[in-house]
Structure 1
Amino acid sequence: MTEPFTQEHDGERLSGVHGGGGVDGSTVPSAVLLHGAGNGSKERLLPLLDEFVAHGCHALAFDFSGHGESSGELAELSLRRRFEQAVAVIDAHAPVDGPLVLVGFSMSGQTVADLARHYGARVAALGLCAPAVYAAEAWDLPFGRGDGEFSAIIRRPDSWRRAPALDVLRAYEGRAVLAVPGTDAVIPPEVTEAVQEALALRARFTRLELPEADHQLGRWLRDHEASRRELVAALLSGLGDLGWTATGGWVARQLPVERYG
C-alpha cells in the first residue's frame, strides 16, 4: 500500500509517494528512488518502489521541482537544489537514522553520490542506473534552457573527469550495483567505466547488464518485472550480513558529514 505525500522546501511543493515499513522502524531499510533529468518523474519508478516494498523495505520516490507534479521551474533547478530537495524529503519521510538504499537514474547518479557523502555510513546500498557525474563547478549553477553556463560546462570534453562524485564512489564501502543498458546514447561509455572503476575499488560491487535496454532505464524497469526483481535483489543482497538488521548498527561506523562547495 502506497500513499502520496507533499513536502514543502525552499518555496517549492515537492510531490512524492511512499509505502512499506513503518517510519518508526529504524532498522527497516528505506529505498529512495530518484528520477533523471528532462521529462523524468516519479511515475516511471512506482513499479520499482512496489518491488522494494514487497521485499519488506520502506520506499519513497518524489518529483524534483520543475518535474511531474511538483511546483517550480526546471530551468531554476540545479544539482545543489536537487541534493537539498532530496535531503529534505529523506529527513521528513524516511525512518529516522535508518539505513538508506539510494537508487538514482541518469542525472541522479550525481545526486546519489551527493547523498552518500552527506549521510555517510547510514547508506547501506547504492543503485546507479545509467548514471551521470559532473564537474564541481557545475554544482551550483541553474540548469537554464540549454544555452547557459551549466550546459557549457557539462558539454566541455572530459569535464566529468574532475567530478567529486567519483571520489565519493571510490571511498564507498557498502553494497553497490551499476545498471548498464545495452545502448546508451546519453552517457559516454568512458563515464560508465569510470563509475565502475570507482565502485570496484572498495564497494561490494555488481555490474548488472541490461542488454536490451536503452538509457531510459526507469521506463525499462517499469515495463520489465524480471529486471526490476533482479535489481532489487542485487541491492538488498547481503545487507543483513553487515548488521543492518541490528538497531543502530550503523552508528559506530558513522562518518563525518561533508558537502561539496
Structure 2
Amino acid sequence: MRFLILATVFSFFQFATVVLVQAAPQEHHVHQRMGSHGMVLFTDGQDLYASHLPLYRAPHDYQIVYEVTSSLKAEIVTFLIEKESATLNDGRAKLTLLPMPFDLNRLVEGEAFAINATVFKGHFEREGEVWKENTEFHFVKQVYKRQVALSVASTKKDFPSRAKAESNWERFALSGSDKALYIYRIQNRPSFDAIVLGEKCPELPRLPSIASRTPSVKQLRSAFEQCYESRTIYFETADFAL
C-alpha cells in the first residue's frame, strides 16, 4: 500500500513538471515584448503609417511598419504634408506616436487592433511636444516586419519582397501609384534606420549603394537621385551607433 501511494505521488509530480515546462515557454512568448513602443507617423499623401522605433534589444527588437487610421487621420496627413514640405527633406520625425503599453508581439504577428495613444510633434523622447492625447488609433495592416539584432538573423517569410543581396533596402509598392516605400534593413553597429518614399526609382540592385555605414542625410538622399521624385521620411543614426 505504501509503495502504491509513493508511486502515485511520484507520477503526479512528473505530470505537473511536464505541464509547467510545456506552459512556461508559451507564457514567456506571449509577454516578452510588453512595454511602451514609440513610433514615427508618416504618410504617402493618402494613407497613414506608423513605423516602430526599433532598438537592438528586446522588447523593441523589431522593425515594423503598419498602416494605421484614426478619427484624426485627415488632420494628421495634412499636417505631415505641410511639415515635410517646409523642412527640406531632412529625415527628422515630424510626428511620433506613443500608444499605451502593449505587447509588440501583437504587431509582429500581424494582428489588427485599436489602442489609445498620444501624438507628439517631433520625437517624443527628444523634447517633442504633446499634440493629441488619448486618441484611438487602429492598426489596420502590417506592411513590413523584420527582427533586429546585433547578430542579424532572418527568415525568408519575413521578407516577402526581399531584393538581391547587393541591396540592404526593401521595396514595397503602394497601390494605385508609381510610388514605393524603401525601408533600410538595419545592420550590425554602426548602422541606421531609414524610410524613403520614392517614385519611379531604378530597380533595387541598381540603386547606388551607401558607402558609409553611418551616412549623412545628404548621402542618403543621393542614393535616390535617380528616382523621378524621392522624400526621406525618417532617418536615425544615434540609436544604432557604436
When normalised by structure 1's length, the TM-score is 0.28
Bigger strand share = 2
When normalised by structure 2's length, the TM-score is 0.29
Bigger helix share = 1
Specify the structure having the higher radius of gyration (Cα): 2
Higher relative contact order (CA 8 A, sep 6+): 1
